[in-house]
Amino acid sequence: GQQVMQIPQYQHVQEGEDFTTYCNSSTTLSNIQWYKQRPGGHPVFLIQLVKSGEVKKQKRLTFQFGEAKKNSSLHITATQTTDVGTYFCAGLTLNYGGSQGNLIFGKGTKLSVKP
Amino acid sequence: DAGITQSPRYKITETGRQVTLMCHQTWSHSYMFWYRQDLGHGLRLIYYSAAADITDKGEVPDGYVVSRSKTENFPLTLESATRSQTSVYFCASSESGIGTGAYEQYFGPGTRLTVT
């Protein structure tokens, strides 16, 4: 079945270092979403990417969608302690008619930041 | 604006008991979802609903029952709880459905369920 793999599972960085998490799908995606979950909290929507090769930025966060729409990445520049949490990607595949689909979450990358 | 709420936030129950987790949203979103989150598995979809009286299975529906008589409520029932159902359960809602455009999901605070 469809799988969305996310690596790494854990990442420990020193504050100020950069961080990247990668998401890879076994099938071509219609679009991809990214969520952040703070420790003890719930997932919060960050962004959605739709177009092949799309790049979006939110302050220090840069999101990319691969040309083949099978992979995506989230890069954080100069991490801060407020970036701590688990980052999930969620890939969507649609049926031929586009009326239904499956949204599959990756297992997440847990980021810890040492001050 | 209450958004999306879940109750109870914490629940301990015994194996074999029936337990119902409640989810309520105030946005009148059409779509609602139930996920479970376990270490090493991420978020897995249990059931979802496109509208009142329309529900469908997700990835891991066995042992769960849902209903949606009103747009704003989407309760999840464990008919006979098992230890393997110990998890954190998240309810979510979205304005649009898959295939109809932006469908960012808004998650509730979660219910931590322990089955002993």
Higher pLDDT, A97 or B111: B111
pLDDT value for B99: 55
Choice among A40-49, A54-63, B93-102, B107-116 with the minimum mean pLDDT: B93-102
Q: How would you class B54 by CB atoms within 10 Å of its CB: exposed for 0-12, middle for 13-18, buried for 19 or more?
A: exposed
Q: Is B102 on the interface with A (CB under 8 A)?
A: yes
CB A94 within 8 A of CB B98: yes
Q: What is the pLDDT of residue B101?
A: 52
The separation between CA A2 and the C-alpha centre of its own chain, rounded to angstroms, equals: 17
**Position with higher pLDDT, A3 vs A96:** A3
Test the A interface: residue of B57, B94, B98, B106 with most A CBs within 10 Å? B98
Query: DSSP string of B73-107?
Result: B--EEESS--GGG-EEEEEEEESS-TTSS----EE
Least confident residue range of A14-23, A45-54, B22-31, B100-109: B100-109
Q: Tell me how close the Cα of B105 comes to any Cα of chain A, in angstroms.
A: 7
Nearest CA in chain B to A6: B42
Residue A99 confidence (pLDDT): 60
Q: What is the mean pLDDT of chain B?
A: 92
pLDDT the model gives residue A103: 81
The rounded mean pLDDT for chain A is: 92
Chain B residues touching residue A102 (CB < 8 angstroms): 98
Task: Note the pLDDT of residue A115.
Answer: 93
Q: In this structure, what token pair is assigned to residue B20?
A: 């119902």
Residue whose token pair is 């469809």: A2
**pLDDT for residue B5 is more than 80:** yes
Per-residue pLDDT at B2 exceeds 80: no
pLDDT on residue A92: 86
- Chain A to chain B Cβ contacts (< 8 Å): 48
| Rounded Cα–Cα distance for residues A98 and A100 (Å) | 6
pLDDT score for B41: 81
Residue A105: closest CA among chain B residues belongs to which residue? B43
Q: What is the pLDDT of residue A97?
A: 63
How many Å lie between the alpha carbon of B4 and the closest alpha carbon of chain A? Answer: 11
Among chain A residues, the shortest Cα distance to B105 is held by A45
- The encoded tokens of residue B60 equal 């891991």
Convert the pLDDT of each residue in B34-75 to its tens digit: 999 998 788 999 999 988 999 989 889 999 999 999 999 999
CA B55/CA B57 separation, integer angstroms: 7
3-state secondary structure of A82: helix
pLDDT for position B42: 86
